[in-house]
Amino acid sequence: MIVYKFGGASVKDAGAIRNLYSIVAGAQLPLVVVVSALGKTTNALENVVNQSGRPSHEVDIAIASVLDYHLQVADELLGQGNRAAAWISDSVAGIRDLLSVAGDRGPDWLYDQIVSLGELWSTRIVEEYLRKRGLRSRWIDMREVLITDDRYRDANVIWSESERRLRSAVKSDDAEIFVLQGFIGATASGNSTTLGREGSDYTAAIAANILEAESVVIWKDVPGVLNADPGWMSDATLLDNISYKEAVEMSFSGAKVIHPKTIKPLHNRGIPLYVRSFLQPDGSGTVISSNESSTESVPVFIRKENQVLLSLLPNDFSFVIGENLGKIFHLFYRHGIKTNLVQASAVSIAVCVDNDSDRIDALTSDLRGEFRILYNKDVEMISLRYYTEEAIRKVTEGKKVLLEQRTRKSVRFVIG
Ligand code: ADP
Ligand code: ASP
Ligand code: MG
């Protein structure tokens, strides 16, 4: 079994899905194809959720525009009156019902019920198109296969149950290509869940682990993993092969080309991950495996934008290490806030986190009794691996460095 994963950009319109077909048609079989939502649909659905308290005509406009987009793509690929379009229209009509019961279940539940629809719609279109073109494909509903806990928006996979279900879902005499949704799953009682934004890469790794796949290929709009985001540094160069360890460090630091959770399930079974370009499918791309990286001669630049630097100082001047440390990080976890960088001194701790003001407000109100809290908003975290003095100059010159953390191989700056 091989696993392919296609992100939003690779299915953004009918032309992109035709290109997906030509990549899939040339693949070794059997094949699992993990697909994200079309284009920027997840953002559009987040917008629907955020508008849920607003006047109903505004919500209607947001819903109608997502529906139009999908129907247009479906009709262009599959013709008028296709089954995918009918299915999607029914599913979109259900959004109103979800909004009306939202109050009882909480905002994170509502988010997952609505935002998870994007992947269901995209996979209906893609799978029906592959079948129309003569491939022996089958659509799999990950809400019946990938079972998670009910930590909505950041659900944890229940492996034993998911293993049993996925293995049985891909047992088949008639299909050889299985199309499944990235990013989504469901609780055992049938509530949809999501695995965290950009989580479709992680789904591909979960499927590969469970099915003991030979390899995973994630098809991106870049030639592979480069030594910087090419949107940030136009002279970025391709890294031919990197180790699992290097990949996980890069993605955890913010290289958004791979979701950080992707590496562990692959590492655990020694499954190689190829990152290749859907725009130039013949390119060699990057391979991530247990082999040593060939990157150590080139500095790698990683930028994580939209960060907040929080400094916590115990009011009673007690040491922050020890009992306080456990208390602080337990609260970060409970509020669903990931710590991107931590630096402690005797009586203060600095933590860099994503700028999610609702979660940060909830956290700080729990901490405020015992800690004084200082903020630096609108900061970014820049990490350099295999740094040189020249590379450091390139990212810090003329900038205000609020915090620096250096080891032998890497250095991180929080920049205001
Ligand atoms: P997907 O469509 O699969 O969700 P993403 O948009 O999440 O793909 O990831 C691809 C993007 O990652 C690229 O367009 C690029 O801007 C960005 N990126 C960030 N860091 C890197 C890097 N080191 N190498 C390649 N791409 C990177
Ligand atoms: N569609 C989801 C998102 O945009 C998951 C993914 O694309 O990986 O976050
Ligand atoms: Mg993505």
Q: Which domains does the chain have, with CATH numbers?
A: 2-220 (3.40.1160.10), 300-415 (3.30.2130.10)
Residue of minimum CA distance from atom 15 in ligand 1: 229
220 close to ligand 1 (CB < 6 Angstrom):
yes
Tens of pLDDT, residues 261-273: 999 999 999 999 9
Higher-pLDDT residue of 52 and 194 is 194
9 close to ligand 1 (CB < 6 Angstrom):
yes
Mutating to test ligand 2, I would choose from 36, 41, 120 the residue with most ligand atoms within 8 A of its C-beta, which is 36
Peptide bond into 30 cis (omega under 30): yes
Q: State both tokens at 91.
A: 């599913």
Average pLDDT (161-180) is 94
Average pLDDT over the chain, rounded to an integer: 95
Do residues 214 and 237 touch, judged by C-beta distance below 8 A?
A: no
38 close to ligand 1 (CB < 6 Angstrom):
no
Ligand nearest the Cα atom of residue 44 = 2
256 close to ligand 1 (CB < 6 Angstrom):
yes
Ligand nearest the Cα atom of residue 256 = 1
Ligand 2, pocket residues at CB < 6 Å = 7-8, 36-37, 42, 118, 182-183, 197-200
Q: At residue 132, does pLDDT exceed 70? A: yes
Average pLDDT (62-72) is 96
Residue of minimum CA distance from atom 6 in ligand 2: 198
CA angle 322, 328, 333 (to 5 degrees): 130
229 close to ligand 1 (CB < 6 Angstrom):
yes
Q: What is the pLDDT of residue 101?
A: 81
Residue of minimum CA distance from atom 10 in ligand 1: 257
| Residue 52 CA: distances (Å) to CA of 47, 83, 217, 232, 415 | 9, 29, 37, 35, 35
Residue of minimum CA distance from atom 9 in ligand 1: 257
Q: pLDDT class for 72, splitting at 50, 70, 90?
A: very high
* Range from 90-94, 143-147, 325-329 carrying the lowest mean pLDDT: 325-329
Residue of minimum CA distance from atom 8 in ligand 2: 198
Average pLDDT (134-159) is 97
Helix or strand holding residue 202 (H, E): helix 200-211
Do residues 137 and 131 touch, judged by C-beta distance below 8 A?
A: yes
Average pLDDT (26-30) is 96
Measure 220 CA to ligand 1 centroid, in angstroms. 7
Q: pLDDT class for 67, splitting at 50, 70, 90?
A: very high
Q: What is the pLDDT of residue 276?
A: 98
Cα torsion 262, 197, 233, 12 to 10°: value is 100
Give the C-alpha separation, 48 to 42, whole Å.
Answer: 10
Of all residues in the chain, what percent carry a pLDDT higher than 90?
87
Average pLDDT (278-288) is 97
Tens of pLDDT, residues 330-348: 999 999 999 999 999 888 9
Of all residues in the chain, what percent carry a pLDDT higher than 70?
99
Average pLDDT (304-323) is 90
Residue of minimum CA distance from atom 20 in ligand 1: 229
Identity of residue 245: K
395 close to ligand 1 (CB < 6 Angstrom):
no
Q: What is the pLDDT of residue 106?
A: 87
Q: At residue 87, does pLDDT exceed 70? A: yes
Q: At residue 295, does pLDDT exceed 70? A: no
Q: What is the pLDDT of residue 293?
A: 78
Q: State both tokens at 143.
A: 């809400």
